[in-house]
Structure 1
Amino acid sequence: MDADEVTRRLGLGEDARTWLAQAAELPSAGGPVLPPPSGARRALAPLGLEAADEDELVALWPDGSWPAELMWVVERMYARLAADLADDLAEWREWPVLVHAEDARVRCAMPVALAAAVPLVLAHHARRGVPASVSAATLADTGRHMAQTRAMFGRIGLETATWTALHFRGGLYELGRLQYEPDRIRDVDEMRWYGREQAAAMGAEFAWGAPALCLHIPADGPLEPARVQRSLARARGFFAACFGADYPVAVCSSWLLDPQLAEYLPETSNILAFQRRFTLVEGDAPGDADVFRFVFGLPDVDLDRAPRRTRLEKAAVEHLRAGHHWQVRTGWLRLP
C-alpha cells in the first residue's frame, strides 16, 4: 500500500505519513499473527491493561471488519518493532501519536501491534537471559501508559507511543521500582551532564561516550527508599549478566530532581530522599508541563483544574501561582 493514500483515507497527520513511508520499506517480518477476538484477552494479558482499556480493546479487536488500510498500519508497526528488536536497538525512535484520531480502531492500532509482538520480545529476552519476572514487569508498563492516556484525554489510546516502543525493542528494563535504559554519557536534549574537562577529572567512567544507564521512574506508587535501593542494587549485575556490559553510572533527568521541591516538602519526604542520591549537573529544562502530567494527569498546565489534596499537589500549584516555574534537572549516581 501507499503511505500517502493510507494517511489520507484514515485521516492521519504528516508525522504519521512520514513514519509509515519509512516503515513501508521494511520486510514483512512474517506477521503479525493475531488471534481471533475470542483470544484477544490472552494476547493482551502481558500488557497489564486496566479493566476499562482491556474491555474496550477486546471489543475493538480486529475481526475482519477493520479496513485494509488500518490492518496495513498494524502490520507496519509490527514490522518496525521486529526490525528494531533484531538490530538490538537501544535508542529512541519517534513513533506517530494517534490519540486524537476519531476512529477508536485507529487509536488501538499500536496496542494491537504490541500485543502481537510480545512473543518476539519474550524470545529476545530469553536469549539474553532476562528473568521472566523482569520481562513481565517491563511489558506491563504499557497498561500504565494506556491508563494515563485515558485519564488525560478521556478515550482509549496510547499517547506515549515513542516511549512504550522502547520497551518492546530491548531498550528498557524494569527492575523493581525503577526502569533502566542502556545508553552512553552525552548531551541529552541540550541539557549537558557536565563538560569534557570536568568529565576527565572525574574519572574514566564519566567520560563522554562511556556506558551509562538512563534511570526512569514509573508511576508505581511512593518512591520508598528501600524499594529504590533494592532496584539500584540489581541494575549493574543485571546488565552485566544479560548484556555483558558494565554500567557503573546511572543518570536521571526529571522534575523530581528539582531542588525547589525542598521548599515545600518535609525533610522526611521520599522525593527528597531520592534527590539526595544524585549529584546534579548544570543546566535545566522547563518542567511545568511534566509536573502537571505526572502529578495531576493533565495534558496541559491548568491551575484551575489541578486538585490540591496532597502536600505535593498544593506545592505544584502554589509555586506557579507565586510566579515561579518548575525545572527538569539531571543528576548522576554511581551504581553499587
Structure 2
Amino acid sequence: MDILTLCNKIKLQPQIKTRVFEFAHNFDFNTVDKQLKFFLIYEKMNDARLELQAILGEDEDNIKILTCMLKASADAYEIYKTKGISDKIYFDTMKCYTRFINETYKMTGRLYFDRYWWTARQAGCHLFRIDELEYEMKHIDDKIVIGIHIPSDADFSPCAVDKSLMKAKEFFTEYYPDLANAEYRCHSWLLDNQLKGMLNENSNIINFQNRFEIFDEGEIGTDFIEWLYNTESTDYSVLPENTALQRNMKIHLLSGGVIYNAYGRLKYF
C-alpha cells in the first residue's frame, strides 16, 4: 500500500491530499523510520509521536505529521494482509483521518489535522474499526483489555451495537486468540449516570450505558461538548438546543453541573 492509494481509498479531502503529496514527494521517510516503526509497540507509540513532532519541526496545519501517520498506516497494510484481516476492516479503520478532518472543519471552518495525538493507534495496528465501533487493544497494568470507542458517524442503535460487538468477539478470537476472553471496557462521558435523568430510558445512549458495569465514576471532562454540540466553545449560554439531550445538558451545565468520563466494564454480549 502506498500513500496515494490509501488517500484515494479513504477519500481524503482533495485540498489536504494535495498538500500531503507535496510533502511526501520531497521528504525522506528514512529519517523517521524508527519513530514510525515504534508506533507498532503500544508502550512506545506516544513517545515515538513526540519524537516525530520534534524531528518535523514547524508544521502548518499538521500536514507533515499527517503524512507520516498515513505512511505508517499504509505500511501497516502488510500486517493486515499477513494476518488475513479484511480490506474492509483496514479501510474502515483508516477512514478515521478523513472523519477527523471533517469533524474539525465543521467546528472551525478550517481544513486541518488536529488528531495527530491519537492516530498512532490506527497506524500501529492497536485499534480497529469493526462495523460501527472501534476497538483498541489497551495495555493497562499487566494485562490487555479491549477498549471500545464510538466514532462520530456510528449507527448507535442497539441492533448495530450488538452486531459490532459480536463481530469484534469473532475478530479477536480469530486474529488475536490470546484476547479471545479479554475484558471489554469503555471510558466515556456516555457512561455518566447523570444522563439517565436527561434522556428517555429507551434512548440509544441509555441502552449502551446499561451494557456496562460502572466501576469508576471517572474524572470531570469537557470533551463531550465537541461531540454533543459540535463546538469547542465553553460558553454554555450559547450552546444549541436542537435535541432533548442538548437542552437538558445545557440546563445541567448552566446550573453548575459537571459531566464525568466514567469507566465501565462490558457485562455481556
| TM-score normalized with structure 2 length | 0.85
Asked if structure 2 preserves the Cα contact closer than 8 Å seen for 1:91 and 1:183, the reply is no
Q: What is the aligned counterpart of 2:199 among 265, 273, 287?
A: 265
Residues 46-73 of structure 1: CA distance to partner in whole angstroms, max 9, x if unpaired?
4443xxxx1212342444899x7xx46x
In the alignment of these two chains, the number of paired residues is: 262
Pick the structure with more strand per residue: 2
Mapped to 2, the partners of 1:329 and 1:213 lie a distance apart of 16
Relative distance call for 1:215 and 1:263 in structure 2 (3 A) is same
Secondary structure of 1:229's aligned partner: helix
- 1:251 is matched with which residue? 185
- 2:165 is matched with which residue? 232
Asked if structure 2 preserves the Cα contact closer than 8 Å seen for 1:152 and 1:297, the reply is yes
- 1:168 is matched with which residue? 123
Q: What's the CA shift for 1:148?
A: 1.8
Secondary structure of 1:282's aligned partner: strand
Residues 87-132 of structure 1: CA distance to partner in whole angstroms, max 9, x if unpaired?
4x3775154598xxxx885521122223333431110111122121
Mapped to 1, the partners of 2:267 and 2:139 lie a distance apart of 14
* Aligned alpha-carbon RMSD (Å): 2.9
Relative distance call for 1:121 and 1:90 in structure 2 (3 A) is farther
Q: What is the aligned counterpart of 1:93 among 46, 53, 63?
A: 46
Relative distance call for 1:299 and 1:75 in structure 2 (3 A) is farther
Q: Does 1:279 align with 2:232?
A: no
Secondary structure of 2:138's aligned partner: strand
1:120-199 aligned within 5 A:
120-186=75-141
Q: What is the aligned counterpart of 2:8 among 45, 66, 73?
A: 45
Q: Does 1:57 align with 2:16?
A: yes
Q: What is the aligned counterpart of 1:113 among 56, 64, 68?
A: 68
Task: State the percentage of identical aligned residues.
Answer: 22
Relative distance call for 1:91 and 1:218 in structure 2 (3 A) is farther
Residues 301-333 of structure 1: CA distance to partner in whole angstroms, max 9, x if unpaired?
222442111112112211101111111111101
Q: What's the CA shift for 1:276?
A: 0.5
Relative distance call for 1:113 and 1:154 in structure 2 (3 A) is same
Q: What's the CA shift for 1:164?
A: 1.4
- 1:303 is matched with which residue? 236
Mapped to 2, the partners of 1:133 and 1:65 lie a distance apart of 25
One-letter amino acid of the counterpart of residue 8, structure 2: A
- 2:254 is matched with which residue? 321
Residues 187-229 of structure 1: CA distance to partner in whole angstroms, max 9, x if unpaired?
xxxxxxxxxxxxxxxxxxxxxx344211111112441000101
The answer for unaligned runs of 5 or more in structure 2 is none
Q: What's the CA shift for 1:144?
A: 1.2
Q: What's the CA shift for 1:170?
A: 0.7
- 1:291 is matched with which residue? 224
Mapped to 2, the partners of 1:306 and 1:77 lie a distance apart of 42
Q: What's the CA shift for 1:185?
A: 4.7
Relative distance call for 1:226 and 1:113 in structure 2 (3 A) is same
The answer for unaligned runs of 5 or more in structure 1 is 1-31, 35-39, 187-208
Mapped to 2, the partners of 1:281 and 1:33 lie a distance apart of 43
Mapped to 2, the partners of 1:243 and 1:173 lie a distance apart of 12
Which has the greater radius of gyration? 1
Asked if structure 2 preserves the Cα contact closer than 8 Å seen for 1:149 and 1:159, the reply is yes
Asked if structure 2 preserves the Cα contact closer than 8 Å seen for 1:248 and 1:335, the reply is no
Secondary structure of 2:118's aligned partner: helix
Q: What's the CA shift for 1:275?
A: 0.5
Asked if structure 2 preserves the Cα contact closer than 8 Å seen for 1:60 and 1:105, the reply is no
Q: What's the CA shift for 1:158?
A: 1.8
Residues 1-40 of structure 1: CA distance to partner in whole angstroms, max 9, x if unpaired?
xxxxxxxxxxxxxxxxxxxxxxxxxxxxxxx976xxxxx5
Asked if structure 2 preserves the Cα contact closer than 8 Å seen for 1:213 and 1:247, the reply is no
